[in-house]
Amino acid sequence: MSRKRIVAGNWKMNMTPAETVAFIAKLKPEVDGAETDVVMCVPAIDIVPAITASRGTNIVIGAQNMHYEESGAYTGEISPSMLVDAGVKCVILGHSERREYNHETDDMLNKKLKKAFEHGLTPILCCGETLKQREMDITGDFIRMQLKSDLAGISEIDVQNMVIAYEPIWAIGTGETATAEQAEEVCGLIRNCIEEMYDEDTAEMVRIIYGGSVNAGNAAQLFSQPDIDGGLIGGASLKPEFAKIVNC
Q: Does the footprint of ligand PEP cover residue 109 (CB under 6 A)?
A: no
Q: Is 67 a catalytic residue?
A: no
In the complex, least distance from residue 137 CB atom to ligand PEP, rounded to whole angstroms: 23
Q: Does the footprint of ligand PEP cover residue 42 (CB under 6 A)?
A: no
Residues between 127 and 186 that touch ligand PEP (CB under 6 A): 167, 172-173
Q: Does the footprint of ligand PEP cover residue 62 (CB under 6 A)?
A: no
**Of the listed 97, 104, 167, 184, which one is catalytic?**
167
CA-CA-CA-CA torsion sign (15, 26, 235, 212): positive
What is the DSSP code (8-state) at residue 45? G
Closer of 28 and 239 to ligand PEP (Cβ): 239
Residue type present at position 162: M
In the complex, least distance from residue 156 CB atom to ligand PEP, rounded to whole angstroms: 26
Closer of 29 and 217 to ligand PEP (Cβ): 217
Q: Does the footprint of ligand PEP cover residue 10 (CB under 6 A)?
A: yes
Q: Is 119 a catalytic residue?
A: no
Listed in sequence order, the residues at least 6 apart from 242 whose beta carbon sits closer than 8 Å to its beta carbon are 7, 9, 27, 233, 236
Q: Does the footprint of ligand PEP cover residue 41 (CB under 6 A)?
A: no
In a 13 Å sphere around the CA of 134, the CA atoms on its Cβ side amount to 14
Q: Does the footprint of ligand PEP cover residue 234 (CB under 6 A)?
A: yes
Around Cβ 34, how many Cβ atoms within 10 Å?
A: 15
In the complex, least distance from residue 65 CB atom to ligand PEP, rounded to whole angstroms: 13
Helices within the chain (DSSP H only): 17-31, 47-54, 80-86, 96-101, 106-118, 131-135, 139-150, 156-160, 180-197, 200-205, 219-223, 241-246
Size of the site for ligand PEP (CB under 6 A): 13
With beta carbons less than 8 A apart as the criterion, state whether 150 and 127 touch. Answer: yes
Instruction: Work out which of 235, 243, 246, 248 binds ligand PEP, going by CB under 6 A.
Output: 235
Around Cβ 22, how many Cβ atoms within 10 Å?
A: 13
Closer of 7 and 88 to ligand PEP (Cβ): 7
Helices (H) and strands (E) in the chain, counts: 12, 8
Q: Does the footprint of ligand PEP cover residue 233 (CB under 6 A)?
A: yes
Beta bridge partners of 163: 124, 207
**Of the listed 67, 95, 97, 129, which one is catalytic?**
95
Residues making contact with ligand PEP (CB under 6 A) = 10, 167, 172-173, 211-214, 232-236
Active-site residue set: 95, 167
